Amino acid sequence: MLIAIIGGGASGMAAALAAAEHPGAQVVLLERQARLGRKLQATGNGRCNLTNLHALQGGYHGDAPAFHEYALGCFPPEETLQWFRKMGLYTVAEESGRVYPYSDQANSVVDVLRFALEKPNIRVELGCEVAKVKKTPLGFHLEWAEGSLDCDRLIVACGGLAGTKLGGSMSGYQLLRSLGHRCTRLRPNLVQVKTGWAGVVSLKGVRANCRAQILHNGALVRQSVGELQFTECGLSGPVMFELSRDVCQEKGSWVCRLDFLPEMDEKTLLEELQRRRNTQLSAAELFTGILHNRLGRVLTQAAGISPGSPIAALDDGQLAEAARLAKQFDAALTEPLGMDSAQVTAGGIVTAEFDPATMESKLVRGLYVCGEVLDVDGDCGGYNLHWARSGCNMRRRSCCGCPPPASAS
């Protein structure tokens, strides 16, 4: 049996390894770029957050949130780590549940996958951008610029549109549409969001742990706690990535409300600021020892306080306003950056058209999908790479002709 896999990213490589386990299977992995796992090498700022120990506790989104549950249940994080360990990859887990290679290098993950693919029944073809897929009586016919292939089973693992500079493209969506599948609206996720607040320029590079709330026309949409990073044009960092999929999806007022001291109440903060009137410090140092110096000065100025004024001369009203802004600072949001900057695509091929127990198409027999091309996306922190791996056992079983468990249908 010949099994073709389109896409040599995280999900494609994992699918090839799973399919190759079946006796008699011949696997061809087709990747349009010059090397495998290019986007994988860039994840986690080059560290590759390959899974999350809390991946079974939620953190996934899409048109049918329960779709991923069966696949995740079959491959919990602990089993995924064992899978990598068998290939020689050592890992380390942080308190947050994020798991990284012990080397702290994404290249380690790509290398162990690439070495694992060196099997007699796996052939890797690079520089093959499949342009056409046709269903045939015996399977599928694939065509690309310089060649073609006939196969018995087909797995589409092209990834999503996000990260276009690293290889993200529309190819997977287009191929599956040509076979009759539908696609939901695509939008960037895990991405920086632009703000209309002019003061953000002076905070470029500043990081702060905070609680961030997304408000649409004054109503809370979503919130999270974590590290925020200011850029020259907006808000970034893990906490913003986690909230970005919901930003500016409808018309109206979009605001990010920031609490820079989520573990301190406003009354306690005000009392601390009032005590500082007994010092010789200027207002520019009002938040010294509490917040990043530049952030403290920006908040002080936003409260209408001159940086050169002595703290001793500030009245209760001025200090109360400074404390309020530290606990509730509103930054108007304009739009997320585009797909070039996004780490993940929100939206994708409609999951209702696939069997969650096998990942096989309900429309085209012998066609399977995996990873980001489906309308499933996860939160920041290893959830998306965990999803890319999780469905492979179902695809292996189904590609081999074995029926799924009755409980999963």
pLDDT digits (tens, 9 = 90+) for 156-202: 999 999 998 888 999 999 999 999 999 999 999 999 999 999 889 99
Which of 17-32 are b and which e, b meaning 16 or more Cβ less than 10 Å from the residue's Cβ? bbbbebeebbbbbbbb
Find, among 325, 335, 311, 349, the residue nearest to 269 by Cα. Answer: 325
Q: How far is CA 171 from CA 31, 43, 132, 160, 403, in A?
A: 12, 21, 10, 9, 30
Where residue 400 falls among pLDDT bands split at 50, 70, 90? very low
Residue 306 to residue 295: CA distance in whole angstroms: 15
pLDDT at res. 407: 38
Q: Give 102-164 as a DSSP string.
A: TT--HHHHHHHHHHHT--TTEEEEES----EEEEETTEEEEEETTEEEEESEEEE----SS-G
Where residue 392 falls among pLDDT bands split at 50, 70, 90? low
Q: Match 């380390």 to its residue by tokens.
A: 92
Q: 250 or 120: which carries more pLDDT confidence?
A: 120
Which residues, other chains included, contact 403 with Cβ-Cβ below 8 Å and sequence gap of 6+?
none
**Regarding beta strands 2-6 and 153-156, do their DSSP bridges make them parallel or antiparallel, or are they unpaired?**
parallel
**Torsion over CA: 349, 354, 356, 357 (sign):** negative
Find, among 138, 114, 142, 115, the residue nearest to 128 by Cα. Answer: 142
Could you tell me which residues are beta bridge partners of residue 52? 98
pLDDT at res. 403: 42
Supply 385's token pair.
């790479």
**Torsion over CA: 303, 305, 311, 313 (sign):** negative
pTM of the model: 0.87
Q: Please calculate the CA angle 79-81-86 and round it to the nearest 5 degrees.
A: 95
Query: Does residue 373 surpass a pLDDT of 70?
Result: yes
Please report, as a single letter, which amino acid is at residue 106: A
Domain borders along the chain are 2-187+341-408, 193-336
Q: Which CATH architecture has domain 2-187+341-408?
A: 3-Layer(bba) Sandwich (3.50)
Helix (H) or strand (E) holding 297: helix 293-302
What distance lies between CA 282 and its chain's CA centroid?
A: 43
Q: Nearest 5°: phi and psi at 278?
A: -85, 5
